[in-house]
Amino acid sequence: MKYSELYNFVGKDGIDGFFIFYTAILNGMDVQRMPGQLLLINNHRAPDSKTSFVHSVAQSTRLSTTTFVLQKRFRRVLFQQAKVSMPKAATFSFSSRKDPVKYANKIGYPVTVKEVFGENPSFSIRGVQNKKELFSAMRKVRRHLPVNSPRAPSSYAQTINLGSAETVDEDKRIKSHRSRFIVEKQLDGDFYRVYVIGGRASFVVKFDSNSLQVVESPSSSINRLAETAVASVPGIKNAAVDIVEDENKSVYLTEFSERLLPPVMSVEEDFFSNFGQLYQSLLEYEIGLVNGTFSSRRKRATYVIEIKGVSNIPKFTESFLALVNALRLEQRVSETCNIFGKIKFQISGSCFDVAIALENLLETQNITHLQLCRKRIIKKYSLF
């Protein structure tokens, strides 16, 4: 499969979790995969090791709730204390009508309207030019709840309960009038996303709404701002930091996310190659924190996979075989148990296609647990 076909199998908001999964498989690691992009990764060469590496994608698991629930206005205070430059902004409750308009007039249009609680990066409406558009943006932000979508992150409900209560409107859950939102001055200039790993800026792209390009030698002010922002948030070492550089070469932080997501969708081969290197660096850093080691790197291999929580084994097997055949992978089902909803099988092929097949299963089937181990190669030696 070509990288350009990836979006046919993986949702845009699942790209970061997929690449971590794929990178772990590529490096021969044993992986336990659970709902919400939660991965337990270790090296099969050290089966008795008591240290494993847990990776979770913020927004998608309860494990990340401690950082995910941090209010964005609290983060602004942390950034201000660290002297991180940001556009002018203020928060308001959805019950306010006059104050947001007065503030937008004060700082000048265009403005951006963002959530205070919720996803990282923030759900936002950019390019708001007047009072009418401001009220429209407020309505859209208030009605935006991931729990209204089929792929609701499990930690979002906890986030809402901490201070952003919900109500029901037209049979849909929306934010209550007490919830808050941000009105932020929208700055013109060049937009960058800096990927910080282990507290150091490691990868930078310049982007607009339709395209991006890798920046080989970003300015020191861009890197320094991103690294300072990450250092100012307790418990965070890896993040994607959005920065705008204006015509005077002044830089401002516009968004901060624990998720290392691409800023725009792309089908360019170089794009995926570059981001593959980014996630390799991320995995190397995080496994290094627990003194872990990689196994040998292989592009093709055989894997033993065990899946639990399958409600309908025959239907699951049928859809799985269709997907495997479409990807031209070799497979052999070795064990099934209808009582416990368990299926065990072997699958052979490229690491990328194996990752695609399993990611698709996790997206479309009701699976509670997936365990993957690369089959070990037993070398035979002749004495003669």
Rg (CA), the chain: 23
The per-residue DSSP string of 357-368 comes to: HHHHHHHHS--S
Place of tokens 């009038």: 177
Low-confidence ranges of the chain (pLDDT < 50): 62-66, 69, 148-164, 379-384
Give the span between the Cα atoms of 138 and 123, in whole angstroms.
Answer: 11
In eight-state DSSP terms, residue 109 is S
Which residue, among 330, 280, 277, 262, has the nearest Cα to 302 in the 3D structure? 330
Q: 181 and 71, same structural domain?
A: yes
Residue 380: predicted pLDDT: 47
Give the span between the Cα atoms of 61 and 64, in whole angstroms.
Answer: 6
The b-or-e profile of 353-378 (16+ CB within 10 A means b, else e) is bbbbbbbbbbeebebeebbbbbeeee
Q: 299 and 281, same structural domain?
A: no
The answer to whether position 368 is within a domain reads: yes
Residue 245: predicted pLDDT: 97
Cβ(32)–Cβ(369) below 8 Å:
yes
Going by C-beta distance under 8 Å and a sequence separation of 6 or more, which residues neighbour residue 230?
Answer: 196, 199, 236, 237, 238, 239, 241
Q: Which of 289, 315, 337 is the last residue of a domain?
A: 289
CATH of the domain at 254: 3.30.470.20
Cβ(113)–Cβ(107) below 8 Å:
no
**Structural domain of residue 283, as residue ranges?**
189-289
Summarize pLDDT for 183-215 with one digit per residue, the tens: 999 999 999 999 999 999 999 999 987 788 899
Q: 173 and 85, same structural domain?
A: yes
Place of tokens 């971590």: 20
Longest dimension (CA), the chain: 90
Q: 158 and 89, same structural domain?
A: yes
Residue 280: predicted pLDDT: 92
Summarize pLDDT for 203-259 with one digit per residue, the tens: 999 998 778 889 999 999 999 999 999 999 888 899 999 999 999 999 999 999 888
Residue 136: predicted pLDDT: 96
The per-residue DSSP string of 302-351 comes to: EEEEEEE--S-HHHHHHHHHHHHHHTT-EEEEEEEETTTTEEEEEEEEEH
The per-residue DSSP string of 221-278 comes to: HHHHHHHHHHHHSTT---EEEEEEE-TTS-EEEEEEESS---SS----HHHHHHHHHH
The answer to whether position 379 is within a domain reads: no
Check: pTM over 0.75? Answer yes or no. yes
